[in-house]
Each structure stands twice: as C-alpha cells, then as structure tokens.
C-alpha cells in the first residue's frame, strides 16, 4: 500500500511506525484479505482527520509522556449517569463536586442506546453512535468530556465489543434474512454445531441464562448468545466486523473518551472445540486495536475487562515490545479483600500482593473495593486447601457472613445468581453496607457504627496503598447504603446488582463537611488519603513493594520504597485491637495523622491502619 500524498505528516509518521506489524497481523487473522486491510487503513485517516484540535493537542502532550496514567495522583470514580445526576448535562453540572472528591478519572457506566427491558444494564448496545435518549445526546457527551478535560479529568466509557443487542441494525437485518448481516454473527440452521460448542464452552449465567445459544422462532435459526438471549455474539472471524467495530471505537474516542473499556474481551474469538475464552487470536485483535489507537488517537488508553484468575489476566498487557492493554482490573485482589474481612485472616491477601509485586512495574492495574457488578468468589482454593478450606463450604460461609446470616456479622448484602446445588452464589451490596454501617445505623448502636466506619476507611487505605489507580464507586465517599427499592421496579427486581446501583443521595452529600456525621467522617478521611498519596512518590506505580511478616494473621503489612522514600503500612482486618511489631527499631511519621512514631511496636485499633513514612536515616 502506498502512503497517500494527501495524508498529514503527523499521521504518516505514526502509521509507518506500525504499518508492517499491523499488516502482518491483519493478514494472518483474515487470510490475506488486502482489500479489507486497505479499507481499514483509509478509514483510520478519516477518523484522524475528524479529531478536534483540542483532542489532537492532548494526543501530542501524552505522546511526550506515555506513562502519564501511572502516577500517584490519579483517583478514579465510576458512576451511572442517571443515578448520579439524571443525565449528561447533570453530570457536567457536578464537575466541581467530582473535583472536591479528588477525582480526575471518570468512568461513565454504559450509556449508549440499548433497549430498556433487554439491556443488561446497558451492555446490550443497539446503536454505538447514539446515547440513550433519557441521558442526552452525543453532543451532550462531547460537551461533558470537553468540560472534563478543561478541569483535568479524563473520561472512560465501556465499549461492548463481544456482542450487540438483538435490536442493533445488523441483528435486525440478519433476522430478516440478510445473509451478509448473518455473517456478522454465528447463525445455524440446526443444533448440530451448537451442540458441539456446548461440550467445551462454559456457561456464564447457568441459572438465569443457561446455554450459549438461542433459538429464534420468527426466522427458525439458532444464534450464539454467550451472555443473554438478547445479546448476539459478534463473529470477529469476519473482518467486516472488526473493521466496523474499530470504527465505532474511534468514533467514541473522537467524542473525547480517553479510556476505552474493552468489555468481555476474552470472549471475542470463537473456535469449535475450545472454551472460546482467551484464544490466541483475541490477543492478535487487541494488539491491532492498540496499534490503531496509537496511530489515530495516541492519548487514548485501552482498559481490558478480564475478570479471571491472574494467570489469565496478565497476558492482556502483552509484552514490552508488543503491548496490548494499557490497564487491567485487579479483580482477584478485590474478591480476596472481602474474603479477608470475613475470615480476619490476611494470608491469602499477602500471597496475592507478593505475586503482584513480582510483575513488571509498567503493568498498571485499576484497584477497587466495589464496582457496578457483583462479587464473585474466584479465590485460590487450591492454595487455601492447606488450611482446611474447601471451596463450596467456604463460599457458603462468605455469602452467609455478608448477608448477615452468620452470627456476629454486621454485614448486609444480597446474593446474585444463587444456585443452591453448586453453592456458587455471588454477592451484592455497597461498601458501607458490607462493612456494617447499615446495620449499626438501623440498630442505633454508636459503638458498632464507629467500628464499621473504621472498617470502611481501613479498606480504602489498603486500596490506596496498592500500586495502580484507585477507583471509587460513586456513593462510597459518603457511605451510601444498599437501595432496596429495586425490588419494587419490575425492570430491575430480578437483578440484585441494582442493590448497589441506587440513586446518589445528594441530601446526604450535603453533610460531607460535617465531620461528626457518617458522611463527613468518610468523605474527609478518603480525601485525606488521596492527598497523602498524591504528595508522596512512594505510592507511584514504579515503586518497589512487598509484604512483611507481622507474626499476626489478622494484620497485613506492606513495605513500599521509591527513591529516598520508604513506607511501611499496617492494616488490621480484625474487629479486635491488634499489635503490630516492627522489624527492628522504626521511626517516622504517620502520614494520615501527622504524628511522630517511635518504638518497636504499635497498637492498631479494631480495623485500624498505619501509614508510616520512615525517617531518611535507615534503621
């Protein structure tokens, strides 16, 4: 392919850097279809030309500082537009509040057009170029991202790439007999091949959406539907699908989206006789998408949604020479954190922190306590078995503990996708309710409330100690509780995840300045943690870290070092006071309180923590 003389030099420079590898991968995946490849290349220049001067300026700034997202001063927040502020214009009007929260990375939950009654929370997209009407328009989205950029806030948006809604124009055409449209999905005339797939492909939702295929009565065909019957899997073996989905991705980037969240990315390549998960060509496709963003919009990051065990997650970073995703979720640590709250035993958490410490420092994880989704107990049960812990009984214990059924538990949550036969239910609930704040308020027990608030703050301190980007779930900063009203909404009642997707309580948010209230105690403590983190480079992703033995299974200790700064952090996961012994005489400053610390040990109150910045003179 000859470079067009009409292409701008900046684009040509980026394009030439990646051309050979992009062409090689494309031809390998798509059987040397050069016509499709040339079409893709021409389209990339079109999207480059469409980028605004404002966005191209950001592209150039971040090209000079490609690791801009791995610093210690980034704080994320994820929110639903309607729950937070009604619509996109409402979110724009709340930017000052976001800044007050210390947020400079805003994850807008799915907002593209999808059927109200068959949306899976917005993950069944019927139009990738339109916003849900009740939330606003694409112009409103662009206005929001532009205002966010002016205030130093980057925006993240979900890109649902494994499937479309059955209401998407491609799906409608396929249903009506369009053979080209049917090639965009996986259509079958009978159950012969689907039955072969079912032998090796696991089910995602065996209780609520069993099987991986759906029979369409109106056209007498069978279509692959890995998640729900109304979400039709796309056939990425068809390069037209890849080319068009890349176009949708770049169109969103041109609306000012800084981070593209690649939803369900491990599932996008299907092959008979496999699990249809994490196949090699998935990585080929993601690598091509990485190069494409570096050509068209180099300021844009790819965030991989890989909700699997660490051995499956890490490959999505790619290699130093051929990187794939810029960032990934630290989902395993999130689940293990709540396991530790219930067991008061930090050994599993310590093991996982040490595993993370061995990874390259350019691997950036997003860390969080809660998110829009449920908590799945995908723990390392093989390792836990040495302590007499068996998977099914342990999952039942965790679910009993966090639904308040276990004696002495103050947690309040609900189960999701409960399957009594397998004992494999998952868990829903806000951070505050799972920490016991809801139960304490209901019982009017001030002592219990104080302990629950300390638990909430300690868990956030632990999250802020991890390398990567801490992400708050909207409402956690003011201790928002479970919203049980979803039971009364016929569109939501069947999905317990709406328990923690309630409307943001702006009346409670007004109390954030009153440090005598629950809201004030949490809001100001989290803000103080953010400030401490931003002011000390020892929290940067490039810092060396490891855990240290505390001789107390209820206390986790993390040591971090960067340049001349050394931090030793202790976290008490017990509801009893615990003693943390220092390995030798230690002295330094408690970053959170500013107090000087001297001695060989410190007492941690129930769910207490200590961020000890050690003195320069090593002891």
Rg of the chain's alpha carbons, rounded to an integer?
25
Are 227 and 175 members of one domain? Answer: yes
Q: What is the CATH number of the domain that holds 272?
A: 3.20.20.80
Asked whether residue 18 is assigned to any structural domain, the reply reads: yes
Please say if the pLDDT value at position 522 is more than 70. Answer: yes
Q: What percent of the chain has a predicted confidence (pLDDT) above 90?
A: 88
Q: Is 380 a catalytic residue?
A: no
Average pLDDT in the 145-167 region? 98
Q: Are residues 198 and 296 in the same domain?
A: no
In total, how many domains does the chain have? 3
Confidence bin at 419 (pLDDT 50/70/90): confident
The last residue of one of the domains, among 261, 285, 310, is 310
Residue 533 confidence (pLDDT): 97
* Shared domain check, 126 and 64: yes
Average pLDDT, the chain: 94
Looking at 81-90, 118-127, 519-528, which range is the least confident one?
A: 118-127
Residue 131 belongs to a domain: yes
- pLDDT one-digit tens code per residue, 336-359: 999 999 999 999 999 999 999 999
- Close Cβ partners of 394 (under 8 Å, ≥ 6 residues apart): 377, 379, 381, 384
Count of CB atoms situated within 10 Å of the CB of 226: 25
Separation of alpha carbons 435 and 609, rounded Å: 15
Task: Determine, yes or no, domain membership for 345.
Answer: no
* pLDDT reported for residue 395: 94
In a domain, 67, yes or no: yes
Whole-model pTM?
A: 0.95
Q: Are residues 3 and 145 in the same domain?
A: yes
191 inside domain: yes
For this structure, is 294 an active site residue? no
pLDDT tens digit string along 93-123? 999 999 999 999 999 999 999 998 888 889 9
Instruction: Looking at the structure, tell me whether residues 248 and 227 fall in a common domain.
Output: no
Cα 224 to Cα 197: distance, rounded to the nearest angstrom: 10
Instruction: Say which DSSP state 2 is in.
Output: P
Residues 94 and 213 in one domain: no
Angle formed by the axes of helices 239-253 and 280-296, nearest 10°: 40
pLDDT (tens digit per residue) in 463-514: 999 999 999 999 999 999 999 999 999 989 989 999 999 999 999 999 999 9
Tokens of 89: 């214009």
Q: Are 433 and 413 in contact (CB under 8 A)?
A: yes
User: What are the strands, taking DSSP E only, across 161-312?
Assistant: 163-165, 187-188, 213-216, 221-224, 231-233, 259-263, 301-304
Question: What tokens were used for 211?
Answer: 């099987």
Comparing C-alpha atoms, which of 185, 158, 163 is closest to residue 174? 185
Asked whether residue 258 falls in the same domain as residue 131, the answer is yes
Picking from 274, 295, 310, the residue at the C-terminal end of a domain is: 310
Give the active site residue among 140, 167, 258, 305.
305
Q: Give the number of residues written for the chain.
A: 619
Is residue 61 one of the residues assigned to a domain? yes
Among 447, 377, 369, 455, which Cα is nearest to 411's? 455
Helix 53-64 / helix 138-150 crossing angle, nearest 10 deg: 50
**DSSP assignment letter at 209:** B
Residue 440, both tokens: 């304490």
* C-alpha 195 chain-centroid distance: 33
Terminal CA-CA length for the chain: 63
Question: Which DSSP string do the residues of 48-100 spell out, in sequence order?
Answer: HHHS-HHHHHHHHHHHHSTTGGGSTT--EEEE-HHHHHSSHHHHHHTHHHHHH
Q: What is the pLDDT of residues 523-575, one digit of tens each?
A: 999 999 999 999 999 999 999 999 999 889 999 999 999 999 999 999 999 99
Mean pLDDT is lowest, of 243-247, 252-256, 330-334, for 330-334
Q: How far apart are CA 461 and CA 532, in angstroms?
A: 10
Confidence (pLDDT) at 619 = 45
Angle, helices 34-50 vs 239-253, to 10°: value is 10
Q: Is 372 exposed, middle or buried (0-12, 13-18, 19+ CB in 10 A)?
A: buried
* Per-residue model confidence (pLDDT) at position 511: 98
- In angstroms, the CA 455 to CA 210 distance is 38
User: Which residue, of 188, 210, 233, is where some domain finishes?
Assistant: 233
Give yes or no: residues 183 and 297 share one domain: no
**At which residue do the structure tokens 């190069």 appear?**
291
Q: How confident is the model at residue 580 (pLDDT cuts 50, 70, 90)?
A: confident
Q: What is the signed CA dihedral for 90, 93, 94, 95, rounded to 10 degrees?
A: 130
Q: Are 183 and 116 within one domain?
A: no
Q: What percent of the chain has pLDDT over 70?
A: 97
Query: Taking a C-beta distance cutoff of 8 angstroms, is the pair 586, 575 a contact?
Result: no
CATH number at residue 219: 3.90.400.10
DSSP helix/strand/coil, 224 = strand
pLDDT at residue 499 in the model = 97
Q: Which residues fall within 8 angstroms of residue 45, CB to CB, at 6 or more apart? A: 4, 7, 11, 15
- Report whether 242 contacts 284 (CB < 8 A): no
Active-site entry in 158, 263, 414, 424: 263
Q: What is the pLDDT of residues 18-39, one digit of tens each?
A: 999 999 999 999 999 999 999 9
Alpha carbon distances (Å) from 41 to 5, 11, 38, 212 = 14, 11, 5, 34
Q: Which domain holds residue 117?
A: 1-72+84-155+242-310
CA neighbor of 16 nearest in space, from 119, 487, 366, 8: 8
Higher pLDDT, 233 or 424: 233
CA 105 from centre of chain: 12
The pLDDT of 325-346, averaged and rounded, is 95
Q: Are residues 29 and 170 in the same domain?
A: no
């Amino acid at each position: 392919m000859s470079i067009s003389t009409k292409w701008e030099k900046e684009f040509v420079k980026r394009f030439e850097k990646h051309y050979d590898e992009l062409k090689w991968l494309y031809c390998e995946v798509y059987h040397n279809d050069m016509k499709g490849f040339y079409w893709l290349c021409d389209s990339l220049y079109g999207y480059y030309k469409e980028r605004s001067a404002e966005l191209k300026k950001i592209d150039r700034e971040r090209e000079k500082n490609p690791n801009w997202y791995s610093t210690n001063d980034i704080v994320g927040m994820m929110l639903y537009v309607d729950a937070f502020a009604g619509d996109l214009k409402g979110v724009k009007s709340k930017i000052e509040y976001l800044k007050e929260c210390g947020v400079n990375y805003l994850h807008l939950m799915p907002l593209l057009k999808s059927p109200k009654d068959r949306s899976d929370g917005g993950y069944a997209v019927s139009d990738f170029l339109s916003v849900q009407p009740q939330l606003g328009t694409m112009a409103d989205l662009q206005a929001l991202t532009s205002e966010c950029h002016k205030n130093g806030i980057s925006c993240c948006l979900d890109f649902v790439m494994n499937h479309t809604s059955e209401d998407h124009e491609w799906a409608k055409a396929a249903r009506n007999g369009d053979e080209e449209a049917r090639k965009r999905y996986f259509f079958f005339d009978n159950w012969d091949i689907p039955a072969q797939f079912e032998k090796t492909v696991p089910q995602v939702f065996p209780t609520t959406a069993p099987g991986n295929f759906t029979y369409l009565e109106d056209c007498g065909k069978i279509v692959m539907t890995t998640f729900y019957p109304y979400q039709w899997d796309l056939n990425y073996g068809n390069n037209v699908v890849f080319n068009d989905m890349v176009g949708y991705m770049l169109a969103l980037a041109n609306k000012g989206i800084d981070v593209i969240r690649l939803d369900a990315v491990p599932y996008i390549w299907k092959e008979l006789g496999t699990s249809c998960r994490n196949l090699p060509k998935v990585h080929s496709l993601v690598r091509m998408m990485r190069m494409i963003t570096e050509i068209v919009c180099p300021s844009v990051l790819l965030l991989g949604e890989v909700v699997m065990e660490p051995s499956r997650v890490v490959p999505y970073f790619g290699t130093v020479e051929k990187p794939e995703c810029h960032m990934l979720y630290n989902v395993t640590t999130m689940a293990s954190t709540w396991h530790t709250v219930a067991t008061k035993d930090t050994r599993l958490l310590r093991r996982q922190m040490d595993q993370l410490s061995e990874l390259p420092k350019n691997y950036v994880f997003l860390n969080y306590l809660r998110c829009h989704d449920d908590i799945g107990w995908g723990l390392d049960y093989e390792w836990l078995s040495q302590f007499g812990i068996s998977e099914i009984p342990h999952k039942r214990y965790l679910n009993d503990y966090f639904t308040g059924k276990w004696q002495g538990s103050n947690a309040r949550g609900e189960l999701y996708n409960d399957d009594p036969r397998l004992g494999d239910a998952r868990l829903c609930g806000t951070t505050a309710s799972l920490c016991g704040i809801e139960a304490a308020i209901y019982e009017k027990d001030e002592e219990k409330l104080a302990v629950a608030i300390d638990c909430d703050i300690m868990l956030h301190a632990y999250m802020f100690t991890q390398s990567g980007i801490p992400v708050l779930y909207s409402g956690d900063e003011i201790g928002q509780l479970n919203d049980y009203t979803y039971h009364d909404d016929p569109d939501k009642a069947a999905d317990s995840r709406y328990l923690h997707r309630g409307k943001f309580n702006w009346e409670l948010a007004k109390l954030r300045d009153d440090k005598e209230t629950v809201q004030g105690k949490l809001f100001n403590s989290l803000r103080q943690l953010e400030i401490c983190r931003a002011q000390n480079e020892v929290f940067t992703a490039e810092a060396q870290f490891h855990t240290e033995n505390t001789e107390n299974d209820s206390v986790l200790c993390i040591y971090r070092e960067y340049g001349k700064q050394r931090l030793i952090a202790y976290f008490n996961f017990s509801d009893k006071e615990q003693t943390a012994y220092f390995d030798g005489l230690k002295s330094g400053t408690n970053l959170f309180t500013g107090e000087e610390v001297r001695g060989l040990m410190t007492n941690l109150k129930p769910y207490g923590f200590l961020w000890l910045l050690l003195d320069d003179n090593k002891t």
